[in-house]
Amino acid sequence: NSKLRHVEKDVLIPQIMRDRAKELCSDKVQAFTKCCQETGVLMVVKCRQENTALKDCLVGYYSDPSFYEECKAEYLKQREEYRATGIKKKRQKFTSNV
| CA dist., res. 48 & res. 57, Å (int) | 14
Identify the sign of the CA torsion 25, 30, 36, 39. negative
pTM for the model stands at 0.78
5 phi, psi to nearest 5 deg = -80, 165
pLDDT digits (tens, 9 = 90+) for 45-84: 999 999 999 999 999 999 999 999 999 999 999 999 998 8
